[in-house]
A and B are shown apart, each in its own frame.
Chain A
Amino acid sequence: MTLACGLVPLALVAVFTLRGDHTIYLSRPVATSHEPAQADCKGCHRTPWQPLVRLVSIDNQVRSVQDKDCQHCHWQSKSDHNRFAMTKGVPDCAVCHQEHRGLKRLTERADEFCIKCHAPFEKHPEFALHRAWSPDRQQTEINEIMFRHLLDIAEFGESASDSRGARWLDKTALRFNHKDHLKPLNAVWNEHSDSSSSPTTVQLECNDCHQPDATGSYMRSIVFEDHCMSCHPLRFSSKLSDQPLPHEKPEIVHGVLRDRLMDYVRQHPEEAIGSHVETPSRLPNKPSQPAPKEVWSWVEEELRLIESAVFQTVAGTGTLPKNNACQRCHITSGDASTNEKGSGFGFQIVSPNIPTRWLAHSRFDHGRHRDVACIECHHVERDAQPLECTSLESTSVADILMPKLEVCQNCHGTTRGLPTKRYGRKNCLECHQYHHVPESNAADAQSH
């Protein structure tokens, strides 16, 4: 009987092993995506005797499944974790994506692992763009790198337009006023109307300009033609009122204006005839044509007049152009009338550099937050009461309207400060993406 009790399990184990079915050796079920290969341990455990090596070397960094084994199928690598230097070492794939844990997806990572090194959400540091910074103050290595990114799109200092003290200011080189744009009944020009027709009036909402991208997660970049032109058509001349100017560099606008004026004078030669010497026509029944030299003179004169409106410089005067001149919105340098080198164009637009992402090391899905009003998160502080939701009162592009950490914690955390209770998850992976996804693998990343 003892012998039988020894032979029976031996036979069962031998049958499974000789059939190549190693499922009896599974310590726990594998993730759903690995189930087709779970009968063959060698699919992942390509290097044998690693547990023995781990024991002998007394080192848990010796993995039974190494990164190169994962990369037989997966493109990600541990170098994606926080491109910045890690003082504690970058974990291997198997450290975070632990198989044989009964997880359906290996990307489901309990926060208990992350918070061994990082703070839990309740103790999450304030977002960098809301923290004080000083170039004189010694920062930790991580903070210095994070602030370095922030310094590309913002600057820390005091705004001349208010008295809120030193803070991060948006470096976008534009003149823009949310309050003016969101006030009731703004004027909108129909794109097919000319300058003589009256504009219609509309009440702008946030989503008239801020529209989600194809993924629904983030907002599309602001494009003049899509978001601004209907209210700020680039028409500066009654002669060319049916053709708005392109929203381009000054030199291109200059060239387009000249071409259109040339076309105009060909269609309306009498404009150039009135003040210049008439060239007799050689053909019967044909009107006299202005001489080429006179045409050019007329065009140059008209060009000068129009460009004095388009490229008018009022910087430093404390006023803005009343029409849709470049300086109404753009920060400029130089002067259209000056030409220091004798060629080229002196009037230059400072590139706006509107940031596309503020919190670049996190991920956010606006689509999932569609039941939250914009101003609940995007607001500007007034009188140290950040949750008054006064984004409608932002008058300066320097205002960073990104929410503070406590806004997120209202739903994704324990504070629950809002009157309507929303309960969002507070897992680290809700916001933080470990692997930085190249664009070519964006579709793959969507499955994470």
Chain B
Amino acid sequence: MIPSPFEYELADSVEQAVELLGSREGAKVLAGGHSLLPMMRLRIARPSLLVDVGRLHDLSYVREDGDRLLIGALTRYHDLANDPVLQERCGIVAHTASLIGDPQVRHRGTIGGSIAHGDPASDMPAVLLALEAELVVRGPGEERTVAAGDFFRGVFDTALGPQDVLTEIRLPALAGGWSYLKFHRRSQDWATVGVAAVRADGGARVTLTNMGATPLRAAAVEQALADGADPAAAAERAAEGTSPSSDTQGSAEYRRYLVTVLVRRALEEALS
């Protein structure tokens, strides 16, 4: 319950955070803390230094930028779920935010914090992948932009280097339908399987939560749709290329089955 000891620095700016992260081996960024602190309390994570970016309030925003929406990395799930612009122009993100954790978690957890954590059971990464979002990263060098498809590399492994700070998420405004279906046993639980579907030219982009080490693009489903298959037929191919794990929420075999049901339902919702 009590984390092992660490040092603590409060960052006044992103630049300072980057600098502080370089000051010690094993330094970690602390945002809302709802991904990191649970692991630290169980002493699974033992950072040497926490660099608290939680006071960089100018990183909390949802802005319109033409056809794009810009989300500050420190925007809390609660704020995303209740943001009228987001609800209107990219409802999938607001909706998915409302499904994460519980109200207390959403009052603290930030989109950037959980994206940077790289947990394959986390919902928002699959949504960002389906939206082909861009992630803005500040590190020791120039600010850079990473496509969501390149960002997630493995379990708790992302494109972020040890000194990198995620600052912004850039999304397209959505014109068409969308769906995010989260299957879980208790409301507060992580997804057994999650499916995001976004209507796109000639079909849909479909992505999967917790079907592998990273959020996955259901490429076979997308291809089938592009080839003219109906949602039910396309969904049959949802497990192709996935490598889900087995745990107390379900075996890999069940997940590979379940994902076909959820993809069909998500497509029906997004394409209706």
Q: Do A and B come from one complex?
A: no
